[in-house]
Amino acid sequence: MDKTVKTFTKNKFQEIRVGVKEFRGNDLIDIRVWTQTQFSEDKVPTSKGVSFNISLFPEFKEAVLKLEETLKENRLL
């Protein structure tokens, strides 16, 4: 399965895409920066990002929730 579930703007030329993809028979969560090509509006994936097995999702979710808590405690959100 290759599916983008969320896209958000990083800056004028880049965006971050979060999704699920298959690579060599493994289903992965992929969080990656995509950038605009020089002569087109099309965007291509960069090497800036991370992919990890979907079995790690519970730990990733816990990390994001702890990050949110820390940001709120420090009044950054």
Domain extent at residue 16: 3-73
What is the C-alpha to C-alpha distance for residues 13 and 5, in angstroms, rounded to an integer? 20
pTM for the whole structure:
0.87
* Phi, psi for 5 (deg, rounded to 5): -105, -20
Kindly tell me if the per-residue pLDDT of 59 is higher than 90. yes
Task: Give how many domains the chain has, as a whole number.
Answer: 1
SS (H, E, C) 22-64: EECCEEEEEEEEEEECCCCCCEEEEEEEEEEEHHHHHHHHHHH
Q: 3-state SS of the chain: helix, strand, coil percent to 5?
A: 25, 50, 25
Tell me the CATH number at 26: 2.30.31.10
pLDDT digits (tens, 9 = 90+) for 3-56: 999 999 999 999 999 999 999 999 999 999 999 988 888 899 999 999 999 999
Q: What would the two tokens of residue 34 be?
A: 């995509």
